[in-house]
Amino acid sequence: MKIIKDALTFDDVLLIPKVSKVNSRWQVDTSTYLTDKIKLNIPLVSSNMDTVTEHIMAIALAKAGGAGIIHRFNSIENEVSEIIKVKREQNIVIEKPYVIGKETSIGKLREMSLEKKVSSFPVLDREKLVGIITRRDFEFEEDMNKKVEDLMTKDVITSHKGISLEEAKGIMRKNKIEKLPLVDREGRLTGMITSRDVKLLDGYSKASKDKNGRLVVGGSIGIGSDHLERAKALIDAEADFIVVDVANGYLEKTADVVREIKKLGAEVIAGNVATKDGVLNLKKAGVDCVKVGIGPGGACLTRPVAGVGYPQLSSIIECAGNDVRIMADGGIIKSADFSKAIAAGADSVMIGGLFAGTDESPGVIITKENINYKFYRGMASVNAFSDRSLKTDEAADLEGYTPEGTETLIQYKGSVVKIVNNLLGGLRSAMTYLNAANLKDFKKNAEFVVLTEAGKRESKYKI
């Protein structure tokens, strides 16, 4: 047995300032690449934990310029539903709008409107567009047996696939319409543009978007029996990337699953690992980004339970620079940690606990002794393990299970936007100190100084 070397985490170091030509934090560019094909405007990703990210959190992060990853601790159908909600939130073109047949009754139309939470439907007859019906057409109709064709607007203004946003705005403005169906030469519906989505696009210029103007979102899978079925369903739902979510990314099965999913044509993120060997093993399997972090998360008990791990800052430094994108996962409790993770070589940073307890995180607010809380748990906790088996039909042996995650109440924090802005403010400030106009320069210029115990006290760190 031997000691390999000393390793450091965020509070062990400070970034060394440089003479800087960057005079304002608003001059810096915080954009990054999650994978070589997916660009983000900020290097923040919300964790695929069931008390952190469902569609509301994913939408908020994507609108801010980052991305959310929908957790896998539910049925395949539910995870797909969450992905679809994100992809439909903001879109230049709704490529697969909900449609209705002209012979459908108004009663059935109302049921669909409530179920899909959609107020307008293109009306089809043998796949061809023959009209459009909106809530104002059927809202006060009393005859539930009346057919859609009796109330729909028949003279529909349309356009073609490939129309630019500005052209669509012009048509909608000129004709005072809120819905613009797109049809091919045979009159078949190929998509739809709505005024709501146009307004949203104008209001979120920094949002992370796919090639069709929709918000970027990721889905997650495990390495269990349903991994291939789940991955195919998420890809069909047009998730932008798939995360192979495993606490131990060193397992041969993890690399095998990466190879399988890459064959489906997806962008794949996998982990977790903490060393260069782990990164290279997944890189060989074809991964597009590696999650780095064994045990630094606040809800993770891997280190005290298994005695396995690697201090996070040194882990990021060792894992970066191997010609594959790196996502730092865990240990971020303040903006300084976020800045140091990027400076050390991370292309993006996954946030869990900091985003828990916000308006956008799943769960209800609990009041205890006049203080508001929300529930937060690690996905290797006992109840998470048990719940996963109930929701995904995976067998659970609780007697033989040693939890490596905690469960707790986190004080309610308000909107996640405030936390995102705080993290970005710290990063932008750090970039000005290091004469870095962009994240590439920030990493290049970064040098760390190791702190003594007195230095930690001077830096206001708890020791």
Catalytic residue ranges: 300
Distance of CA 239 to the CA centre of its chain: 10
Contacts of 402 (CB under 8 A, 6+ apart): 305
CA 70 to CA 241: how far, in whole Å?
A: 11
Task: Using CA atoms of 429, 434, 437, 441 in order, give the dihedral in degrees to the nearest 10.
Answer: -130
Kindly state the greatest CA–CA separation across the chain. 82
Contacts of 26 (CB under 8 A, 6+ apart): 428
How distant, in Å, are the alpha carbons of 32, 219, 241, 340 from that of 37?
11, 16, 10, 25
CA 263 to CA 266: how far, in whole Å?
A: 8
Hey, how many other C-beta atoms are within 10 angstroms of the C-beta on 446? Answer: 20
How distant, in Å, are the alpha carbons of 357, 364, 379 from that of 376?
7, 11, 10
User: Six-digit token pair at 248?
Assistant: 């131990």
User: Six-digit token pair at 432?
Assistant: 């000005």
**Cβ-count burial 316-333 (b if 16+ within 10 Å, e if not):** bbbbbeeebbbbbbbbbe
Question: What are the backbone dihedrals phi and psi of residue 312, each rounded to the nearest 5 degrees, phi first?
Answer: -65, -40
Are 78 and 128 spatial neighbours (Cβ–Cβ below 8 Å)? no
Q: Which residues pair with 158 in a beta bridge?
A: none
Distance of CA 34 to the CA centre of its chain: 11
User: Six-digit token pair at 61?
Assistant: 């992060």
